[in-house]
Amino acid sequence: MTRPDPGAGAEQGTGRGQDSRPEREQEPTEGPPAAFYLHPAASLHDTGWNHPEHQGRLRSLASTVGKDMMALFGRVEQSEPPLAPEGALERVHTEAYLATLRDASAEAEASGSLRELDPETRISGASWEAVLGSSGAVCHAIDEILAGHRANAFVAARPPGHHALADRGMGFCLVNHVAVGARHALATGAGIGKVAIVDWDLHHGNGTDAIFTADPDVFYLSLHEWPQFPGTGASTERGIGAGEGTTLNVPLPAGTGYTTYRRVFVEGLERMFDAFSPDLILVSAGYDTLRADPLGSFELEPSHFHELTRLLVERAPHPDRIVAVLEGGYAPRPTGEAVVATLRALAGIPLEDPGGR
C-alpha cells in the first residue's frame, strides 16, 4: 500500500508552477568519463556498530557500485584520491577546532577507545585520516573536472559533513567536506567565481548554511524535513549582509512523497538558476529521504535519485561540473542503490540499461 503524499498545506512551495520542461533521457556524449572516489581511510572511521553512521555504510555502498560495473565500465572511472592538506580544511574550520579533532583522534588511537564531541558525534583513531581523505577526494574531484579529465563525480565521503560548523562538529559530522570543496574551488584560480551547493539530505545542513550565509559567491539550496534535527532551515533564513538572497531553504513536512518533492526540487532549482549562475555545483547527497531510512519519514525510492540528478544536470550552466558528496543515508542497501542511480545520471547512463549502452 502506498502511503499518501501530504502535498499542499505546509511550508514547502517556492512559488512557481510545475516543471514545464520535456522529459528526456540524457544522450551519451563523447568526452571524459565521470568519476567515483572513495578514500580507503573513510571506511575506517569507527563510531561503533550501534551507531547509525557505522562502518558498514560505505562497505555496502562500495559493493553495490561494484555490482554495477558492467553499466559503468568506460563511463565512470575510479581511482584513489590524495589526502587533503590541512590548509584546505583551514579555509573553512578554525585552527583550534582542527587541533581538537586531530588530538582527539590521536588519543582514541592510543587508548583504543572512542572519543565524543557529543553523544552522537564520535571520534576514533582513524577519524582524522578519514576526514582528510574525504575532503581530499572532494578537492581532487574538483581539480580533475576543472582540468578536463573528468565530467562530474561522486565522492563517497565519511564521516558526513554538512552539520559541521567552522568551530564545532555535530550531527555525526566532523569536517564540512562540501564547504572545503567550495572554498577550494574558489581559490584555484581556474575561473571559478561562483559555486552552488544543492543539499537534498533529509536534515538541514546548518553548518553549510552558517559558513556561507554572508558569502555572495556561494548559493545554498536545501530541501529538508521540518521540524527535524538540527532545528534550523526556516524559509525566512535567506542569508545575511552581502550574502542575502543566496540561501534558499525549503522546509517540507514529514511524509513528503516524490510527486511533491520533485515539484519543489524543480522550483528550487529554477529559482536558484534565475538568480545565480554557478561555475560549479556541489551536491550534499544525503539519502535519508528514502522510505527505508530509519531516521526520516520521506517517501523517496532509490530510483528517484536518477531523475533528480538528471533534472539538475539538464538545468546546470555547466552540466559537466557537478560533484555529489555523500552525506546521510542510514539504510545501507537502499542507500547504495540510490548512489548508483545518482552516479548513472551523472554519467549520462539510463537507469534501466543493464549494459550502460
* 202-227 per-position pLDDT tens digit: 999 999 999 999 999 999 999 999 99
Residue whose C-alpha cell reads 561555475 in the numeric block: 279
Answer yes or no: are the C-beta atoms of 146 and 198 closer than 8 Å: no
- What is the pLDDT at residue 355? 54
- What is the pLDDT at residue 353? 64
Please pick, among 39, 140, 162, 163, the residue that the annotation labels catalytic. Answer: 163
Sign of CA dihedral 318, 61, 170, 123: negative
How many whole angstroms separate alpha carbon 136 and alpha carbon 139? 5
- C-alpha grid cell, residue 161: 559533513
- C-alpha grid cell, residue 331: 539504510
- What is the pLDDT at residue 3? 38
Whole-Å CA distances, 256 to 10, 67, 98, 168, 299 = 10, 31, 37, 31, 6
How many whole angstroms separate alpha carbon 90 and alpha carbon 192? 19
- What is the pLDDT at residue 70? 86
For residue 227, cis peptide bond before it (omega within 30 degrees of 0): yes
How deeply is 329 buried, as exposed, middle or buried, from its count of CB atoms within 10 A (0-12, 13-18, 19+)?
buried
- What is the pLDDT at residue 32? 97
How much is the pTM?
0.91
Whole-Å CA distances, 209 to 81, 206, 218 = 27, 5, 10
- What is the pLDDT at residue 235? 98
DSSP class of residue 319 equals: T
* Per-residue pLDDT tens listing for the chain (357 residues): 333 343 433 334 444 344 444 444 444 457 999 999 999 999 999 999 999 999 999 999 999 999 998 889 999 999 999 999 999 999 999 999 999 999 999 999 999 999 999 999 999 999 999 999 999 999 999 999 999 999 999 999 999 999 999 999 999 999 999 999 999 999 998 899 999 999 999 999 999 999 999 999 999 999 999 999 999 999 999 999 999 999 999 999 999 999 999 999 999 999 999 999 999 999 999 999 999 999 999 999 999 999 999 999 999 999 999 999 999 999 999 999 999 999 999 999 999 765 543
Q: Is 177 a catalytic residue?
A: no
Q: Please write the tens of the pLDDT for every residue from 228-264.
A: 999 999 999 999 999 999 999 999 999 999 999 999 9
- What is the pLDDT at residue 16? 38
* Best CATH choice for the domain 34-346 from the list 3.90.180.10, 3.40.800.20, 3.30.1180.20, 3.40.50.300: 3.40.800.20
